[in-house]
Protein backbone atom coordinates (compact mmCIF):
# COMPACT_ATOMS: atom_id res chain seq x y z
CA UNK A 1 0.00 0.00 0.00
CA UNK A 2 2.72 2.43 1.08
CA UNK A 3 6.42 2.41 0.50
CA UNK A 4 8.57 4.77 2.54
CA UNK A 5 12.02 5.23 1.05
CA UNK A 6 14.96 6.78 2.84
CA UNK A 7 12.81 9.44 4.49
CA UNK A 8 14.64 11.95 6.71
CA UNK A 9 13.31 14.86 8.73
CA UNK A 10 15.01 17.33 11.03
CA UNK A 11 13.30 19.80 13.36
CA UNK A 12 15.90 22.43 14.23
CA UNK A 13 18.63 20.52 16.04
CA UNK A 14 16.64 17.30 16.32
CA UNK A 15 17.04 14.66 13.62
CA UNK A 16 13.59 13.17 14.26
CA UNK A 17 13.70 10.75 11.33
CA UNK A 18 17.19 9.50 10.56
CA UNK A 19 16.31 7.49 7.47
CA UNK A 20 13.16 5.45 7.30
CA UNK A 21 12.53 2.52 4.97
CA UNK A 22 9.49 0.29 5.22
CA UNK A 23 6.43 -0.95 3.39
CA UNK A 24 2.85 -1.23 4.54
CA UNK A 25 1.08 -4.35 3.22
CA UNK A 26 -2.55 -4.42 1.99
CA UNK A 27 -5.48 -6.07 3.78
CA UNK A 28 -3.62 -6.28 7.05
CA UNK A 29 -3.24 -4.41 10.28
CA UNK A 30 0.24 -2.98 10.55
CA UNK A 31 1.40 -1.43 13.82
CA UNK A 32 4.09 1.23 14.03
CA UNK A 33 5.58 1.00 17.50
CA UNK A 34 8.44 2.71 19.30
CA UNK A 35 9.10 4.74 22.42
CA UNK A 36 7.87 8.30 22.84
CA UNK A 37 9.62 10.57 20.38
CA UNK A 38 10.52 7.70 18.03
CA UNK A 39 9.06 9.68 15.13
CA UNK A 40 5.83 7.73 14.65
CA UNK A 41 3.51 10.73 14.40
CA UNK A 42 6.04 12.58 12.26
CA UNK A 43 6.03 9.67 9.81
CA UNK A 44 2.22 9.74 9.73
CA UNK A 45 2.41 13.46 8.99
CA UNK A 46 4.95 12.89 6.23
CA UNK A 47 2.90 10.09 4.63
CA UNK A 48 -0.30 12.16 4.70
CA UNK A 49 1.35 15.33 3.38
CA UNK A 50 1.16 17.47 6.53
CA UNK A 51 4.95 17.61 6.76
CA UNK A 52 7.47 17.58 3.91
CA UNK A 53 10.45 15.28 4.40
CA UNK A 54 13.94 16.76 3.97
CA UNK A 55 14.90 13.73 1.91
CA UNK A 56 13.35 10.55 0.60
CA UNK A 57 10.03 9.57 -0.93
CA UNK A 58 6.67 8.09 -0.13
CA UNK A 59 4.79 5.93 -2.63
CA UNK A 60 1.13 5.03 -2.47
CA UNK A 61 0.30 1.98 -4.58
CA UNK A 62 3.35 2.66 -6.70
CA UNK A 63 2.61 6.35 -7.21
CA UNK A 64 5.00 8.90 -5.74
CA UNK A 65 3.06 11.16 -3.37
CA UNK A 66 5.94 13.08 -1.75
CA UNK A 67 5.08 16.78 -1.55
CA UNK A 68 1.41 16.38 -2.41
CA UNK A 69 -1.09 18.37 -0.34
CA UNK A 70 -2.91 16.61 2.50
CA UNK A 71 -6.27 16.94 0.72
CA UNK A 72 -4.84 15.37 -2.46
CA UNK A 73 -3.53 12.41 -0.49
CA UNK A 74 -6.82 12.14 1.41
CA UNK A 75 -8.71 12.11 -1.87
CA UNK A 76 -6.54 9.26 -3.13
CA UNK A 77 -7.99 7.16 -0.30
CA UNK A 78 -5.82 7.80 2.73
CA UNK A 79 -8.01 8.40 5.77
CA UNK A 80 -6.47 9.19 9.14
CA UNK A 81 -7.09 10.13 12.74
CA UNK A 82 -4.89 12.38 14.85
CA UNK A 83 -3.16 11.72 18.16
CA UNK A 84 -4.80 14.93 19.39
CA UNK A 85 -8.35 14.52 18.14
CA UNK A 86 -9.29 17.42 15.89
CA UNK A 87 -12.98 18.25 15.99
CA UNK A 88 -14.85 21.50 15.54
CA UNK A 89 -16.01 22.59 19.01
CA UNK A 90 -19.15 24.33 17.85
CA UNK A 91 -20.29 21.71 15.36
CA UNK A 92 -22.48 18.78 16.32
CA UNK A 93 -21.87 15.05 15.97
CA UNK A 94 -24.26 15.19 13.03
CA UNK A 95 -22.19 17.89 11.30
CA UNK A 96 -19.00 15.91 11.75
CA UNK A 97 -20.45 12.72 10.30
CA UNK A 98 -21.91 14.68 7.42
CA UNK A 99 -18.50 16.15 6.64
CA UNK A 100 -16.87 12.76 6.74
CA UNK A 101 -19.30 11.45 4.16
CA UNK A 102 -17.75 13.66 1.58
CA UNK A 103 -14.00 13.54 1.52
CA UNK A 104 -13.49 16.72 -0.49
CA UNK A 105 -12.64 19.61 1.78
CA UNK A 106 -14.01 22.10 -0.73
CA UNK A 107 -17.48 20.71 -0.19
CA UNK A 108 -17.43 21.45 3.53
CA UNK A 109 -19.89 24.33 3.32
CA UNK A 110 -22.10 22.59 0.85
CA UNK A 111 -22.31 19.72 3.33
CA UNK A 112 -23.23 21.92 6.23
CA UNK A 113 -26.08 23.57 4.35
CA UNK A 114 -27.45 20.39 2.79
CA UNK A 115 -28.39 18.77 6.10
CA UNK A 116 -32.08 18.29 5.32
CA UNK A 117 -31.22 15.69 2.69
CA UNK A 118 -29.48 13.40 5.11
CA UNK A 119 -31.05 10.31 6.55
CA UNK A 120 -30.80 10.92 10.28
CA UNK A 121 -31.63 7.31 11.05
CA UNK A 122 -28.49 6.13 9.30
CA UNK A 123 -26.46 8.38 11.58
CA UNK A 124 -28.28 7.17 14.68
CA UNK A 125 -27.09 3.72 13.68
CA UNK A 126 -23.52 4.95 13.42
CA UNK A 127 -23.72 6.21 17.00
CA UNK A 128 -25.00 2.85 18.12
CA UNK A 129 -22.41 0.93 16.14
CA UNK A 130 -19.54 2.92 17.65
CA UNK A 131 -21.06 3.12 21.11
CA UNK A 132 -21.20 6.92 21.11
CA UNK A 133 -23.64 7.55 23.91
CA UNK A 134 -24.77 11.01 22.89
CA UNK A 135 -27.38 12.40 20.52
CA UNK A 136 -26.63 13.67 17.01
CA UNK A 137 -27.18 17.24 18.18
CA UNK A 138 -24.50 17.10 20.87
CA UNK A 139 -21.66 19.54 20.22
CA UNK A 140 -18.16 18.16 19.88
CA UNK A 141 -17.17 20.29 22.88
CA UNK A 142 -19.66 18.40 25.08
CA UNK A 143 -18.13 14.99 24.38
CA UNK A 144 -15.87 13.12 26.74
CA UNK A 145 -12.34 12.29 25.57
CA UNK A 146 -13.31 8.68 24.80
CA UNK A 147 -16.37 9.74 22.85
CA UNK A 148 -14.31 12.18 20.80
CA UNK A 149 -11.92 9.34 19.95
CA UNK A 150 -14.88 7.19 18.87
CA UNK A 151 -16.32 9.97 16.71
CA UNK A 152 -12.93 10.61 15.13
CA UNK A 153 -12.65 6.90 14.32
CA UNK A 154 -16.19 6.80 12.91
CA UNK A 155 -15.38 9.77 10.69
CA UNK A 156 -12.13 8.27 9.44
CA UNK A 157 -13.89 5.02 8.65
CA UNK A 158 -16.80 6.70 6.85
CA UNK A 159 -14.54 8.67 4.53
CA UNK A 160 -13.99 6.86 1.27
CA UNK A 161 -10.64 5.21 1.70
CA UNK A 162 -8.24 2.46 0.77
CA UNK A 163 -6.27 2.68 4.01
CA UNK A 164 -7.09 3.81 7.53
CA UNK A 165 -4.26 5.40 9.52
CA UNK A 166 -4.90 5.64 13.25
CA UNK A 167 -2.56 7.54 15.57
CA UNK A 168 -2.89 5.98 19.05
CA UNK A 169 -6.57 5.05 18.73
CA UNK A 170 -6.87 3.75 22.31
CA UNK A 171 -4.45 6.03 24.16
CA UNK A 172 -6.11 7.53 27.23
CA UNK A 173 -9.49 5.83 26.81
CA UNK A 174 -11.00 3.63 29.51
CA UNK A 175 -10.98 -0.18 29.35
CA UNK A 176 -14.57 -0.40 28.06
CA UNK A 177 -13.94 1.92 25.13
CA UNK A 178 -10.58 0.29 24.45
CA UNK A 179 -12.25 -3.09 24.09
CA UNK A 180 -14.95 -1.61 21.90
CA UNK A 181 -12.34 -0.11 19.59
CA UNK A 182 -10.29 -3.33 19.53
CA UNK A 183 -13.31 -5.40 18.54
CA UNK A 184 -14.31 -2.87 15.96
CA UNK A 185 -10.86 -2.92 14.37
CA UNK A 186 -10.83 -6.74 14.39
CA UNK A 187 -14.13 -6.62 12.47
CA UNK A 188 -12.65 -4.25 9.94
CA UNK A 189 -9.67 -6.57 9.52
CA UNK A 190 -12.04 -9.47 8.83
CA UNK A 191 -13.58 -7.34 6.12
CA UNK A 192 -10.16 -6.96 4.49
CA UNK A 193 -9.44 -3.36 5.48
CA UNK A 194 -5.89 -2.10 5.34
CA UNK A 195 -5.00 -0.38 8.60
CA UNK A 196 -1.81 1.30 9.75
CA UNK A 197 -1.87 2.20 13.40
CA UNK A 198 0.44 3.64 15.99
CA UNK A 199 0.30 2.28 19.47
CA UNK A 200 2.18 1.92 22.70
CA UNK A 201 0.14 -0.81 24.29
CA UNK A 202 1.87 -4.13 23.68
CA UNK A 203 -1.23 -6.19 24.48
CA UNK A 204 -3.25 -4.19 22.02
CA UNK A 205 -0.62 -4.61 19.31
CA UNK A 206 -0.31 -8.35 19.98
CA UNK A 207 -4.05 -8.84 19.71
CA UNK A 208 -4.57 -6.83 16.57
CA UNK A 209 -1.50 -6.56 14.41
CA UNK A 210 -0.48 -8.90 11.60
CA UNK A 211 2.71 -7.01 10.99
CA UNK A 212 4.74 -4.80 13.32
CA UNK A 213 7.35 -2.17 12.51
CA UNK A 214 9.47 -1.06 15.49
CA UNK A 215 11.08 2.35 15.16
CA UNK A 216 13.72 4.32 16.95
CA UNK A 217 14.47 7.84 15.68
CA UNK A 218 12.44 6.90 12.63
CA UNK A 219 14.79 4.04 11.81
CA UNK A 220 13.31 0.58 11.59
CA UNK A 221 14.86 -1.55 14.34
CA UNK A 222 12.95 -4.73 13.49
CA UNK A 223 9.86 -5.61 11.50
CA UNK A 224 7.80 -8.73 11.03
CA UNK A 225 5.30 -10.84 12.94
CA UNK A 226 4.19 -9.44 16.32
CA UNK A 227 5.75 -12.24 18.37
CA UNK A 228 9.10 -11.81 16.72
CA UNK A 229 9.19 -8.02 16.99
CA UNK A 230 7.73 -7.71 20.48
CA UNK A 231 10.27 -10.12 21.96
CA UNK A 232 13.27 -8.72 20.11
CA UNK A 233 16.07 -7.58 22.39
CA UNK A 234 16.62 -4.29 20.55
CA UNK A 235 12.94 -3.44 20.82
CA UNK A 236 12.80 -4.25 24.52
CA UNK A 237 15.92 -2.16 25.09
CA UNK A 238 14.48 0.81 23.20
CA UNK A 239 11.42 0.66 25.45
CA UNK A 240 13.36 0.18 28.65
CA UNK A 241 15.58 3.12 27.77
CA UNK A 242 12.53 5.37 27.57
N1 LIG B 1 6.74 20.27 14.81
C2 LIG B 1 7.81 19.87 15.51
N3 LIG B 1 8.78 20.76 15.84
C4 LIG B 1 9.88 20.37 16.52
N5 LIG B 1 10.12 19.12 16.91
C6 LIG B 1 9.21 18.20 16.62
C7 LIG B 1 8.00 18.51 15.90
N8 LIG B 1 7.29 17.38 15.74
C9 LIG B 1 8.00 16.42 16.33
N10 LIG B 1 9.15 16.88 16.85
C11 LIG B 1 10.19 16.09 17.54
O12 LIG B 1 10.46 14.96 16.72
C13 LIG B 1 10.61 13.79 17.50
C14 LIG B 1 9.58 12.76 17.08
O15 LIG B 1 8.29 13.17 17.50
P16 LIG B 1 6.97 12.36 17.17
O17 LIG B 1 6.94 12.04 15.73
O18 LIG B 1 5.83 13.12 17.71
O19 LIG B 1 7.20 11.04 18.01
P20 LIG B 1 6.20 9.88 18.45
O21 LIG B 1 4.90 10.09 17.76
O22 LIG B 1 6.89 8.61 18.06
O23 LIG B 1 6.09 9.98 19.94
C24 LIG B 1 10.50 14.24 18.93
O25 LIG B 1 11.81 14.47 19.42
C26 LIG B 1 9.71 15.51 18.85
O27 LIG B 1 10.00 16.36 19.92
MG1 LIG C 1 2.97 10.38 18.44
Domain containing residue 9: CATH number: 3.40.50.300
Pocket residues: Cβ below 6 A from ligand 1: 11, 14, 16, 34, 36-42
Residues 6+ apart with CB under 8 A from 16: 9, 10, 37, 39, 42, 217, 218
What pTM, to 2 d.p., does this model score? 0.91
The tens digit of pLDDT for each residue in 21-80 reads 999 999 999 999 999 999 999 999 999 999 999 999 999 999 999 999 999 999 999 999
The tens digit of pLDDT for each residue in 195-240 reads 999 997 888 899 999 999 999 888 999 999 999 999 999 998 887 6
- The confidence score (pLDDT) of residue 120 equals 87
Give the DSSP letter of residue 242. -
d(CA 172, ligand 2 centre) in Å: 13
- The confidence score (pLDDT) of residue 128 equals 93
| Smallest-distance ligand from the CA of 32 | 1
- The confidence score (pLDDT) of residue 203 equals 86
d(CA 67, ligand 1 centre) in Å: 19
Residues 6+ apart with CB under 8 A from 24: 1, 2, 3, 30, 163, 194, 196
- The confidence score (pLDDT) of residue 239 equals 75
Number of domains in the chain: 1
Atom of ligand 1 nearest to the CA of 42: 17
Mean per-residue pLDDT for 133-150?
94
The tens digit of pLDDT for each residue in 111-141 reads 555 555 667 888 999 999 999 999 999 999 9
| Smallest-distance ligand from the CA of 40 | 1
Helix 145-158, helix 175-190: angle, nearest 10? 10
Handedness of CA 122, 189, 144, 152 (dihedral sign): negative
Amino acid sequence: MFKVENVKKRFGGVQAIKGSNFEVPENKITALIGPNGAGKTTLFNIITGFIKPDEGDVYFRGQRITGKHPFEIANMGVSRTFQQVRLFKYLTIFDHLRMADDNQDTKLFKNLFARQKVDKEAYEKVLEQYGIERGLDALASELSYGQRKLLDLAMAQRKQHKILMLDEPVAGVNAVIQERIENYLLDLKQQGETILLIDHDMKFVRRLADYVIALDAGVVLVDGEPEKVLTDKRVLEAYLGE
